[in-house]
């Protein structure tokens, strides 16, 4: 021989059959997964249900953004309209140092957890 390595025809045929088998196996698995995971068709009833949920969500968002509301359990915080909050921010930032300190104080107050209730007395003491 002249030092050239050539695979035998049987080995080449086995390699081609194995590669085609692997591709067919992957294709079959993909086909099965597509059939198993296919969602249900959207019916008119489901479409109407989704539309009602969207309208309800949009109404709740509009209520939160455009109306005043108390937040928390009495901490003195009020949710404001966005436009009013922007006007108040511009007004407060006429004096930036005071506005920053006021903002930091409000953030600390809002983030502080309420004090814990005292533990009930132990009847065995």
pLDDT band at 72; cut points 50, 70, 90? low
Count of beta carbons in the 10 Å neighbourhood of residue 99: 15
Domain locations along the chain: 44-111
Q: Is 80's pLDDT higher than 60?
A: yes
Q: Is 114's pLDDT higher than 80?
A: no
Q: Is 1's pLDDT higher than 60?
A: no
pTM for the model = 0.42
How high is the pLDDT of residue 39?
81
Q: In the chain, what percentage of residues exceed pLDDT 90?
A: 34
Nearest-angstrom CA–CA distance, 55 and 121: 51
pLDDT in tens, 17-49: 999 999 999 999 999 999 999 887 778 888 899
**HSE of 122, CA atoms in CB hemisphere, 13 A:** 2
Distances (CA, A) of 88 to 13, 18, 72, 104: 80, 73, 21, 16
């Amino acid at each position: 021989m002249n030092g050239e390595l050539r695979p035998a025809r049987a080995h080449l045929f086995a390699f081609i059959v194995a590669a085609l088998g692997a591709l067919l196996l992957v294709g079959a698995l993909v086909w099965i997964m597509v059939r198993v995971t296919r969602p249900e068709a959207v019916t008119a009833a489901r479409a109407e249900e989704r539309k009602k949920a969207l309208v309800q969500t949009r109404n709740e968002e509009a209520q939160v953004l455009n109306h005043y509301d108390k937040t928390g359990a009495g901490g003195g915080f009020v949710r404001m309209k966005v436009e009013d909050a922007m006007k108040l921010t511009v007004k407060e930032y006429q004096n930036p140092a005071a506005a920053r300190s006021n903002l930091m104080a409000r953030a600390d107050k809002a983030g502080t957890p309420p004090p814990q209730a005292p533990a009930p007395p132990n009847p065995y003491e």
